[in-house]
Structure 1
């Protein structure tokens, strides 16, 4: 039995035992946990959450393959007990539905579970429990690190992480990452995050909003919603493609 299959089998019985004493993510947890963050948890972070939940299992061969086609409703279900993706907002009210235009854009991209989303404000336990924190902009990355300073090594903007994973996959940043068969999915993904943390200082990314931030479409024209959603989808695809390459290494 391969390492990742053993991890999946173990997850159902051991997940509750592998959180750190303060709820912090640990290397022993067979579930890899991603937190996406924006301002209101109405548009950008739920779109990123939904797309990552679908595309990472497909990229790693542990979910339903989707290729270049739009996601089907079935494809939005994560591989059981291996990946958990959630979202939150720095100024969110708890319990609101997703913004209608943002939800429509997510549905256009093939996401099938948009109407189930409910907003929540980011809190310390959300960051503590995440193996990877992806802010839609630099302010959201910073908010996670203010809540949990130790999260600085696993907090990135979505664009920043996409750049780094792509560079790792292309061999532009010579950092060793174990194959998924050798490590199992959760350990493989944590190794990618660790490699990204070690190398992000070497990436030549501008500090401007154009380089690192996803545009906030809230209450703007439909064209801005379309542009923002397309940017999220494109960067999630880059992450998924890079992970697929690294997993086979």
Structure 2
């Protein structure tokens, strides 16, 4: 069985960055024929809000499904129910780790996890967790800045930061699924 069959993306309001991550991973996994659950939540989200219109536009323009979405507030049971938590910033990672400290090792920023995959290519989740000390986990380059209240170009920038990193993660998930015979 693959190390990771469910991924949660975390941002602030769960209407911009984390939904983009969720939908990009879902689309990539579906195209690769890999069964994975991709969801999202926000550390300051209000339950039941629609995705930001610019996030919807950017996803649509790049061929990802932006339909049927409702934001949700991050709670410990949401964190407990997933294999991997990918946060948009170091602050989101810290907030998630405070909510469920026992699972802290499975919580990364999106940029951090993609960088670690590149360092320990083809490795298991445990090997990626163990390699965490090989990068500066407090570096500002691990944050994807919030586009909220900004023009559409900022949402395009966010998409441009998220998609290649999620592609690295999706490719890793697909490789580990193939290696363990856990494809659909």
Aligned counterpart, 2:102: 150
Q: How does 1:1-249 map to 2 (within 5 A)?
A: 32-59=5-32, 63=33, 82-112=35-65, 114-169=66-121, 177=123, 192-203=124-135, 205=136, 207-209=138-140, 211-244=141-174
How many Å apart are 1:247 and its aligned residue? 5.7
* Shift in CA distance, 213/35, structure 1 to aligned 2, threshold 3 Å: same
Question: What CA distance in whole angstroms lies between the structure 2 residues aligned with 1:44 and 1:212?
Answer: 14
Question: What CA distance in whole angstroms lies between the structure 1 residues aligned with 2:176 and 2:69?
Answer: 31
* Shift in CA distance, 85/234, structure 1 to aligned 2, threshold 3 Å: same
CA contact (8 A) 1:132 1:193 kept: no
Q: Between Structure 1 and Structure 2, how many residues are aligned?
A: 179
Question: What CA distance in whole angstroms lies between the structure 1 residues aligned with 2:174 and 2:80?
Answer: 27
* TM-score where L is the length of structure 2: 0.88
1:63-101 CA distance string (max 9 Å, x none): 1xxxxxxxxxxxxxxx5xx42111000111000100000
Structure 1, unaligned runs of 5 or more: 5-26, 64-78, 171-176, 178-191
Question: What CA distance in whole angstroms lies between the structure 1 residues aligned with 2:178 and 2:5?
Answer: 18
Aligned counterpart, 2:182: none
Q: Relative contact order (C-alpha < 8 Å, sep 6+): which is higher?
A: 2
Structure 2, unaligned runs of 5 or more: 180-184
* Shift in CA distance, 116/195, structure 1 to aligned 2, threshold 3 Å: same
1:111-160 CA distance string (max 9 Å, x none): 12x13110010001000111100001111111111111011110000000
Question: What CA distance in whole angstroms lies between the structure 2 residues aligned with 1:156 and 1:241?
Answer: 17
* Shift in CA distance, 107/124, structure 1 to aligned 2, threshold 3 Å: same
Equivalent residue of 1:232, what SS? helix
